[in-house]
Structure 1
């Protein structure tokens, strides 16, 4: 073992790249290298970018059961992955190499790499015995050769046994000859005549030396006894005998006969045949030599693929008192028959083939071999033609299985591919192998909603957090490619985002409200829901959800006119000379609700003199029902009840004091109501003049402001006027246009980090009702139709039609 260590330490590493010959790269390395030892730089030799190696999926495909060589994808260096024992791998073959394929993708390349395993002198020669004894007759002539048992050295080439040496003596020398198998045979050469009486025995030392650097050796003792008389050795008819037999020859069949002649007489001429010590144990099991007749017969099963020729050394030994030996060589060659079916080996590169694999993608390598020779060992390989795969030859007896058509996992998730290999023997032998190819899922299906658009109706004043709807989408892909999540992409709410109002469940698609809706603030909005899978890259689709808020009767009528001067009651003053039907005042009320919930009716709930006044049920006009009489009270208290048409209905009341003056200089007083005579009222003319003047001024300012605002809005926005609203105005000398605007407020809600401006502006247009011939007023809301969803401009979202 010390010699082996010295041999390894002193071995000069030789790397040779023989070059690229027909796409082949050759390297040479010594055996017994440790793990990680450098073999070659494949990136440099192929002029590849080291960074591109991992991207091109570089891999080694070897026929060996062990992966002796591996490639480092970070630097492109081939290294030893497992210790290589040349003697174990190739025995004593003159040449020994590892062949494998280097496969690269994008584009696909196949390079054949051969790594020659160089022998190192790691084995010392050895003899089967420490001592050999032999006897020779004294009459043997100088120049006679005495065969000696050769030493054994597993190494080859220069590391094998190169020579033998004999210990110094006067009579014997050595003759070393090369055999056909590359080994050395050694014979003891008699150089000087023997004289038994002078020396009856010789004790010699035979040394076998290999050619390694440093060399290694083994010794054996040779004991030669000098015998008398029998001075003729057996001689064979031929030194070398050749014959051929078919490999399927039966056991016991006669092969050949060997024959030798001994010129001596008697027992010195009686011969016995046997195999020499050079014949291997395997050959002894396959052939039997008759010791008397010299017949050689088949003893076991022969196989051309295991060995196509057998070399048998035969000895003929006479029966003299000092036996002499004759030698001959028998060469038995085997004739190959087509007795081996092809073998198929498939190495898959993918556990599953992605369904989006491009045509030409290599998914497996196929190796076929046939142990027979000549045409019996030539193999053709094919697969079915009605599948989206095909095989392409790469080099001798090697193919690649590639994708040749479109794959669709949703249609065919699994293929059973039958590979047929047929040799060219007569008759041909066929082998088949089924390869299971699984198609893995690719994210090639877009999620699909059950509808492209959904309409959702929600009653206002809903409970926050309640689910109002759920969108559903499906994706036929598998696992994460079919795992969907839902989110809101955009919305369509005037002036603001939908996110404070609603949220969508990421997994279920359920849409929940965050706030309670108010129809008077928000009537409808639109959101765009996206369903997105978890593939890479993800695929998505969208659907539109139109949310319509339904009105509830949640707003009581508001008395807009007449205006209460002491925060609780309104005052109207008129001259007593009025006639029946005279318009005293008009009760104007508004309701923020819509539809029937905003339709108002008026009635007198209480009056000082119910016979003096009448009230328009729909118009709210208070008119004189008759002429004023002298005994009538000068101050009248009228309580007006305003009720909407909702279910249940809501109502409001207004108290109006009507002061009747007998002349224009009279000063009315309504500070505290009690039926009294006109002279009890204080002077009110100054207050009335100021009040009417201020009211008129404010009224005209509001009219001018609204007209300017309306014109500006008509220029900058697309407003739609509802023809069903009958927005028209009739004027006469007794009527006035009242328009009330509720200012914008800021809506703050819990959980939000922003203050959202919400339009709280309600506009009411005074329109003359066609049913009134007395200039009745009817308030219709809204006078402008809601904007269509596709005309809305949404902050933070996109407009979609």
Structure 2
């Protein structure tokens, strides 16, 4: 049936440039499965191996495509039987529109595949046998129309020629009924003699124009009878009629009329419809045998058949009967009876909220089976923002992003694509597309207050809750999950002994709840103010953070009686790179045990005398001090301190004699004069500063919390405060890690929601 599996591939570079990315191929029908139609990946400009990596594939549009893309090579191959007659009928050319998708990035290409005809259908007569009755007095040259054959192929494969088996009485004459059809007429070339040959058996052969040619035959049985010698004659040889496809069943198509010059029964005419092209016309058209009225017996469909050609035979009732013929051409007019159809061929959701303008969200295909203005479709998207439609090819659109998205404002869109044809009235179709918006980490956590002021009584219990902090992050999932921490670089507290302590040694914050709690009892005599920052960090990638300042004021209690301070022998200092409990250190005197003359501060590390020294204590003391943290398990370090006991200054002076005593007295007098001068200078400076502060303008103080006075801790940890009670801390570069930052409790917070959120917790 096929001339071979050879495939004609026509890739037209000019058509590619003018058609906006369209590739055209052609393949003969009945090509075997696996036949390569074209090197699609190469023609689309893809490199070797990209076809499979970028998922080169066809998009189905409601019917089997019969071709597919080979995943490995990217070639377009035949996947199943291609029957041009089944796909396109008599339409020419038979072109299939295919859409090809390439992902990463997403692109759409249009491929037009022309299925070319092969000569796989032989001519077919309506009947294998036809009986004709001819009067013997029929004059030579009489014509008898025959029903022609039909061929499902097109072009040259459907161009039919007819031949008649050898006969001395008959020949064939080919008549062109219209521009499309050739009808054979049987012509009497020699007078008949019923008594000599009563029946003539002839074979009509129809051959198409294919190579090789296919043929079909019909047997003609011509019976020669005596009688009626006048055939009916129509008043028109051709009737042309136009009807809209919406015409109802029973609609009058035409009324034909044939007359017979004979008299009596030989002039009575009956009508029959024959030779329908296409054959489906038999189901929708019928003629009244007596009146010649042609009416519709079924529904017309322009999209199926646009033209019906058939013949009307008028036969008299003579013996033998004679007949006349006319042709009828019924043209079906299109009406707008098909609404547009919208398909979503590809959908890329969800769309990230930071997707750039122009991002392709979906690919759509729009079609209308009507023709002309009835088949021209206009498309629009509703609502008009933030998406829009871009026409990529005839009947193909891209749904693209027109405006920036914000998931925190709108997390999902219901988009409707509306299609309307150009008919009167127009028909419409709608297709909804749901477009969810995925979250990106574009919002940093934000605290309800920039500054939290907290009051805590000294000697509060370790683990006591001091405040609760909360930061809001409108993102979702991990992007909105907030964790809290004390920022080590934020500040510290001033100890009464002049030292500097990191805020993380006093307080900690729960990472999940934002609960601020004390790591140890607070001692007003050790630290009066802590200012530090709490940082809120989300779990996004990259993470975003927000800060809030916490000002912690320790409220003093009368928990210390006046006492003489023992002499400080030495001070052990240790630092721990950890934070929180893991960096909270305590000092213990490991050796000597018992009632020795020395002791060590549990948390200060200061080594001081526990009692008066005695001669029995010996001239040298060896102290072993262990420093432990509060981690689980605890880690420790050991320091060894050697103390030498010497005689007092008075004894030394006595041993030196009168000269030594005189020298010591002179030295003491010099230092006394220096001390008096220094004290006088400091007093004079204080008086000047006090006067300046009294005369300074106070408008800024009365109007609100003015700028904080910067107060720094010295290397030994001393503190000072301004008269406005505004405290700021600065830590030297060498200071240990600190969680304390700036605080400013000049005035109570203004009334409003922010003031209500401030929690002041007094810990006893």
- Whether 2:7 is the aligned partner of 1:13: answer yes
Q: CA deviation at 1:351?
A: 4.5
Query: In the alignment, is the contact (CA less than 8 A) between 1:592 and 1:762 conserved in 2?
Result: no
**1:594 corresponds to which residue?**
603
Q: CA deviation at 1:450?
A: 6.5
- Whether 2:437 is the aligned partner of 1:440: answer yes
List gaps (5 residues or longer) in structure 2: 491-507, 521-526, 551-578, 649-714, 719-728, 743-764
Change (3 A) 1:326 1:481: farther
**2:291 corresponds to which residue?**
293
Q: Distance in 1 between matches of 2:486 and 2:638?
A: 23
Q: CA deviation at 1:468?
A: 14
Query: In the alignment, is the contact (CA less than 8 A) between 1:309 and 1:332 conserved in 2?
Result: yes
Aligned residue among 86, 92, 95 for 2:93 = 95
Query: In the alignment, is the contact (CA less than 8 A) between 1:552 and 1:593 conserved in 2?
Result: no
**1:583 corresponds to which residue?**
none
Change (3 A) 1:409 1:238: same
Task: Give CA-to-partner distance per residue, 1:694-739, whole Å, 9 cap, x none.
Answer: x6xx9xxxxxxxxxxxxxxxxxxxxxxxxxxxxxxxxxxxxxxxxx
Q: CA deviation at 1:11?
A: 4.3
- Whether 2:612 is the aligned partner of 1:621: answer yes
Task: Give CA-to-partner distance per residue, 1:496-518, whole Å, 9 cap, x none.
Answer: xxxxxxx999999999xxxx9xx
**1:674 corresponds to which residue?**
none
Q: CA deviation at 1:568?
A: 10
- Whether 2:386 is the aligned partner of 1:388: answer yes
Change (3 A) 1:144 1:589: same
Q: CA deviation at 1:295?
A: 1.9
Q: Distance in 2 between matches of 1:273 and 1:410?
A: 78
Q: Distance in 1 between matches of 2:589 and 2:636?
A: 25
Query: In the alignment, is the contact (CA less than 8 A) between 1:63 and 1:99 conserved in 2?
Result: no
**1:242 corresponds to which residue?**
240
Q: CA deviation at 1:274?
A: 1.0
- Whether 2:361 is the aligned partner of 1:363: answer yes
Aligned residue among 308, 320, 323 for 1:322 = 320
Q: CA deviation at 1:329?
A: 0.9
- TM-score (ref. length: structure 1): 0.61
Partner of 1:292: helix, strand, or coil? coil
Give the RMSD, CA atoms, in angstroms.
Answer: 5.8
Partner of 2:240: helix, strand, or coil? strand
Change (3 A) 1:544 1:419: closer
Q: CA deviation at 1:757?
A: 8.7
Q: Distance in 1 between matches of 2:261 and 2:292?
A: 18
- Whether 2:42 is the aligned partner of 1:44: answer yes
- TM-score (ref. length: structure 2): 0.63
Change (3 A) 1:242 1:529: same
- The equivalences for 1:612-691 within 5 A come to 620-621=611-612
- The equivalences for 1:411-560 within 5 A come to 411-425=409-423, 427-445=424-442, 448=445, 476-477=474-475, 533=539, 539=543, 541=545, 547-549=579-581
The alignment of Structure 1 onto Structure 2 pairs a total of residues equal to 613
Q: CA deviation at 1:275?
A: 0.4
Query: In the alignment, is the contact (CA less than 8 A) between 1:441 and 1:478 conserved in 2?
Result: no
Task: Give CA-to-partner distance per residue, 1:323-361, whole Å, 9 cap, x none.
Answer: 222221112334445555544444443254333332112
**2:117 corresponds to which residue?**
119
Change (3 A) 1:504 1:115: farther
Q: CA deviation at 1:235?
A: 2.5
Q: CA deviation at 1:765?
A: 12
Q: Distance in 1 between matches of 2:65 and 2:453?
A: 65
**2:694 corresponds to which residue?**
none
**2:307 corresponds to which residue?**
309
Aligned residue among 253, 256, 272 for 1:255 = 253
Partner of 1:276: helix, strand, or coil? strand
Q: CA deviation at 1:90?
A: 0.9
Query: In the alignment, is the contact (CA less than 8 A) between 1:279 and 1:313 conserved in 2?
Result: no
Query: In the alignment, is the contact (CA less than 8 A) between 2:276 and 2:308 conserved in 1?
Result: no
- Whether 2:166 is the aligned partner of 1:148: answer no
Q: CA deviation at 1:211?
A: 3.8
Q: Distance in 2 between matches of 1:765 and 1:443?
A: 68
Q: Distance in 2 between matches of 1:325 and 1:162?
A: 25
Change (3 A) 1:77 1:207: same
Change (3 A) 1:789 1:26: same
Higher relative contact order (CA 8 A, sep 6+): 2
Report which of the two structures shows the higher radius of gyration computed on alpha carbons. 1
Q: CA deviation at 1:88?
A: 1.4
**2:748 corresponds to which residue?**
none
- The equivalences for 1:58-77 within 5 A come to 60-61=58-59, 63-72=61-70, 75-77=73-75
**1:640 corresponds to which residue?**
none
Query: In the alignment, is the contact (CA less than 8 A) between 1:559 and 1:590 conserved in 2?
Result: no
Aligned residue among 366, 376, 400 for 1:378 = 376
Query: In the alignment, is the contact (CA less than 8 A) between 1:342 and 1:429 conserved in 2?
Result: no
Change (3 A) 1:559 1:55: closer
Q: CA deviation at 1:247?
A: 4.3
Partner of 2:11: helix, strand, or coil? coil
Query: In the alignment, is the contact (CA less than 8 A) between 1:247 and 1:337 conserved in 2?
Result: yes
Query: In the alignment, is the contact (CA less than 8 A) between 2:383 and 2:415 conserved in 1?
Result: no
Task: Give CA-to-partner distance per residue, 1:291-347, whole Å, 9 cap, x none.
Answer: 112122344444444444332321111212222222211123344455555444444
Query: In the alignment, is the contact (CA less than 8 A) between 2:587 and 2:627 conserved in 1?
Result: no
Q: CA deviation at 1:208?
A: 3.5
Q: CA deviation at 1:273?
A: 0.8
Q: Distance in 1 between matches of 2:488 and 2:324?
A: 105
- The equivalences for 1:224-243 within 5 A come to 224-243=222-241
**1:22 corresponds to which residue?**
19
Change (3 A) 1:383 1:569: closer
List gaps (5 residues or longer) in structure 1: 493-502, 517-522, 561-566, 571-587, 603-619, 623-655, 659-687, 699-739, 770-782
Task: Give CA-to-partner distance per residue, 1:185-244, whole Å, 9 cap, x none.
Answer: 333343443322222212333444344444444444332222223333322222211133
Q: CA deviation at 1:553?
A: 12
Query: In the alignment, is the contact (CA less than 8 A) between 2:241 and 2:254 conserved in 1?
Result: yes
